[in-house]
Copies of this chain bind each other. A is one copy, B any other.
Amino acid sequence: MKLNEAKQQFIQSWGAIGTQWGINRTMAQIHALLLVSADPLSADDIMEELQISRGNTNMNVRELIDWRLVEKVLKAGERKEFFIAEKDIWKVAMRITSERKRRELDPMIKVLENIGEIEGDKKDKDVKAFTDTVGQLQKFAKQADKAFDNLVKVDEHWFTGTILKLFK
């Protein structure tokens, strides 16, 4: 299998998987392209490689930067911006996890907090069913929130060596 062939296959497949993840196809493709590129690419490189418009490229690169999966790189003597992806897959996974938590778990916690006390007979089976489910969800959401925070925190400390120092 030739390199370019394999690259193209990887990029296309990654785009398809992206949609399953609820992620924009183009965003996933640009990420894939940058992940397997040795050098930083410019917007024009990306447009050329993926056959997409400048606007689309710009929007999705910006989104990838928001997710902290891609960084802007400046080359000496060049006016253009270049882009490079974080290559450490563990870090990539942590950042995607953080972002998904922010988009999926945090709004859930907010919704649950905003549900007020229910008026009426607390022994009523309908009132019970509601408060019981909402209560369980609240408990679960808070636990999950802590678990994710710890996962990401431990990971950051691992890299900076903070945890090892605790054992000295």
What is the interface of chain A, defined by CB distance below 8 A to chain B?
Answer: 1-3, 6-7, 9-10, 13-14, 16-17, 20-22, 35-38, 87-90, 93, 103-104, 107-108, 111, 114-120, 125-130, 132-134, 136-137, 139-140, 144
Contact = CB atoms under 8 A, between A and B. Distances in A.
Q: How many copies of this chain? A: 2
Please indicate which of the listed interface residues A10, A90, A103 has the most CB atoms of chain B within 10 Å of its own CB: A10
Given A111-B13, A130-B3, A89 B136 contact: yes
B103 A20 contact: yes
A137 B6 CA distance: 15
A104 B19 CA distance: 9
Contacts of A118: 1-3, 6
Contacts of A22: 20-22
B90 A140 contact: yes
A136 to B, nearest CB: 4
